[in-house]
Amino acid sequence: MSGEPIVTTLDKKAIQLERKKLFAELELSGETTIEMNGRSFTKNDIIQYYEDLLKEDGLKYHATVADDPVLLVFLETAHIGRKESFLKNPMYTDAQFINWVSPYFCHAFITFMNACFLDPDEDGLVALLRNKLLMTQADTEKGWQAVMKIVMGSISTLEEYYKSTGEVKLAKAKDLMEFRYIRLVQLLPNDRFGPVKDKYAFSILQACVFTFNRNRQTGNYVSTWLENAQLLAASEEVIAQIAKKREELEAVLIPQESGPVYGGSGAGAPAQTSPWGVIKLILFIVLFLVRLATCRHW
């Protein structure tokens, strides 16, 4: 159960006392549930929790988590800091411990991933993926499926952007092509997300072509997004496809950056000012002033 520790020492008498106090508080308040870290627990949940806690293995497992501050904070708050690591505890390879901690870890994992992609947290994701994911095979699949749903949702948004007529604005699609977001997808394991990375990269390519064709002034932005797509792609085929498109874009951008190009020898080119023309103009003004002075004299 997540939330503040209910007891300070894990002995049966203290646990039984805390259980009585908690149930007494529930009776007095008239509430049927208790809130901890944004989650609701019914009276039956609490009963089951204490029954599990009073088991010998439950006491041992809770003590194991309590001894690992990084793991404890992750399970309670779904947060892990830069370069933080769980302890190297032999218990983390114990099948029974994994079965016990897996539901809690899976919940924290999914909560973390949703927050991570909503407000990109590269440091947190790197730290989590360097640690052992304490989940059963079933919960591991459940966790990664939740991440897959996030990534596929981003791809769908990009597809709606370049296929629709203004339903998805560039500002929304732009965030999904920036490096700080793309980096999160890039960090996901290739054995699970390789094809999805290619699909995402191709969607960025299509969105870039669509954006540039609508507004040539977006060339520099499009160039950066294509570079991000190339970094994201997992297969050589997609990488080569994006590289070719980048070359085509650069060929278009170079003339624009060096100024307008005029066709033919002098055709349409701006006229150059002749120095003799300037001299003639000065002489004309001097003569005019002399004549004007002469006229006034007379």
Encode the chain (298 residues) as per-residue pLDDT tens digits. 444 444 444 566 666 677 677 777 777 777 777 776 566 777 677 766 666 655 557 788 989 999 999 999 999 999 999 999 999 999 999 999 999 999 999 999 999 999 999 999 999 999 999 999 999 999 999 999 999 999 999 999 999 999 986 677 888 999 999 999 999 999 999 999 999 999 999 999 999 999 999 898 999 999 999 999 999 999 999 999 999 999 999 888 765 544 433 333 333 334 444 555 556 566 566 555 545 554 444 3
Within a domain: 181 = yes
Within a domain: 209 = yes
> Which of 54, 72, 98 is the C-terminal boundary of a domain?
54
41 Cβ neighbours under 8 A, 6+ residues apart: 1, 33, 34, 35, 49
The H or E element containing residue 41 is: strand 39-42
The pLDDT value recorded for residue 298 is 36
Q: Which of 64, 60, 68 is nearest to 11 (CA)?
A: 60
Within a domain: 152 = yes
Within a domain: 266 = no
**Tally of domains in the chain:** 2
The pLDDT value recorded for residue 48 is 67
The whole-angstrom separation of Cα 184 and Cα 274 is 60
The pLDDT value recorded for residue 287 is 59
Within a domain: 247 = yes
The pLDDT value recorded for residue 123 is 97
Write out the residue range of the structural domain in which residue 208 sits.
148-256
Plot region of 264 (φ>0 → left; ψ -120 to 50 → alpha; else → beta): left
Q: Which of 121, 46, 39 is nearest to 76 (CA)?
A: 39
Within a domain: 164 = yes
The pLDDT value recorded for residue 273 is 46
Within a domain: 141 = no
CB contact at 8 A, 110 and 143:
yes
294 Cβ neighbours under 8 A, 6+ residues apart: none
Within a domain: 220 = yes
